[in-house]
Amino acid sequence: MWEFRSFSFWRAVFAEFFATMFYVFFGLGASLKWAAGPANVLHIALAFGLALATMVQSVGHVSGAHINPAVTFAFLLGSQMSLFRAVFYIAAQVLGAVAGAAVLYGVTPAAIRGNMALNTLHPGVSLGQATTVEIFLTLQFVLCIFATYDERRNGRLGSVALAIGFSLTLGHLFGMYYTGASMNPARSFAPAVLTRNFTNHWVYWVGPIIGGALGGLIYDFILFPRMRGLSERLSILKGARPAEPEGQQETTGEPIELKTQSL
């Protein structure tokens, strides 16, 4: 396992932990209700979108800035990373989300802490409807990520970080009324652990995972197919070390599988 012995691999895993922790801390923190009345959806949507854009800008060149198990699963299905790396990324994201929520819980007055759980369905929304909404929200989000991260697009596309942040903002503007707009199982799992509220929690795993998988597959196999053979895809999934040009030493920079355009 060359990745296990690579410093850049562990740096990328830490980046996922670090970025997810800050994403959850700022996103959930901005969504806390400090006064009576309905939540300000625009305020929450912009907070999550800007938090993600900031983290993509900060660690995108280190780990690919997945910050979301659904995104990592989509890249795994598309044979753009090894199974070994995907497992560690998802573990780091979940732990980072819990760490961020725990810090937020610790600095928030007891009377406000109960508002941390955004994993709430509108009373008129069924479980099937909620799951479908999460699928569509995550599908458009992952589709945007695959398109903006695609190294085959040579033209300048503007800011990748802002494009992804706006995509997440769009999901919140629509989905907050239905499900709280998770699109990220780690983000939903963290407050559920601290508030001990797992009511209908499976929706926030099943919906984003299916939506992320569909988004990745639609982009990589229909919209802009990657011409890779089965043997090449299996090699990537197994974590085979890419061949280096003759005379070039191993660098400790960005992960080889996750090259993205300049942020």
Provide the pLDDT confidence category of residue 248 given band limits of 50, 70 and 90.
very low
68: pLDDT strictly greater than 90 = yes
- pLDDT tens per residue across span 170-229: 999 999 999 999 999 999 999 999 988 899 999 999 999 999 999 999 999 999 998 888
Q: State whether the Cα torsion 138-143-144-145 is positive or negative.
A: positive
pLDDT at 253 over 90: no
DSSP state for residue 223 in the 8-state scheme:
I
Asked if pLDDT for residue 262 goes beyond 90, the answer is no
Element (H, E) at 213: helix 203-218
Predicted structure pTM score: 0.89
pLDDT band at residue 155 using 50, 70 and 90 as cut-offs = low
In the numeric block, which tokens belong to residue 19? 């970025």
Cα–Cα distance, 229 to 122 (Å, whole number): 45
Higher pLDDT, residue 122 or 240: 122
Residues 53, 165: contact at Cβ < 8 Å? yes
- The string of pLDDT tens digits covering residues 103-152 is 999 999 988 887 776 778 888 999 999 999 999 999 999 999 999 999 88
User: What's the mean pLDDT in 74-91?
Assistant: 95
Rounded CA separation 44/169 (Å): 9
Question: Hey, what domains does the chain have and what are their CATH numbers?
Answer: 7-239 (1.20.1080.10)
Length of the chain counted residue by residue:
263
Going by pLDDT thresholds of 50, 70 and 90, the confidence category of residue 92 is: very high
Reading the block at residue 69, the tokens are 């198990």
pLDDT at 263 over 70: no
HSE (CB half, 13 Å, CA atoms) of 94?
14
Q: Which of 138, 156, 132 is nearest to 66 (CA)?
A: 138
Q: What is the pLDDT of residue 112?
A: 86
Which range among 55-69, 119-133, 238-252 shows the weakest confidence by mean pLDDT?
A: 238-252
Residue 122: Cβ within 10 Å count: 14
Radius of gyration of the chain (CA): 18
Amino acid at the residue 48: F
For every residue of the chain, which 3-state class applies, written as one string? CCCCCCHHHHHHHHHHHHHHHHHHHHHHHHHCCCCCCCCCHHHHHHHHHHHHHHHHHHHHHHHCCCCCHHHHHHHHHCCCCCHHHHHHHHHHHHHHHHHHHHHHHHHCCHHHHHHHCCCCCCCCCCHHHHHHHHHHHHHHHHHHHHHHHCCCCCCCCCCHHHHHHHHHHHHHHHHCCCCCCCCCHHHHHHHHHHHCCCCCCCHHHHHHHHHHHHHHHHHHHHHCCCCCCHHHHHHHHHCCCCCCCCCCCCCCCCCHHHCCCCC
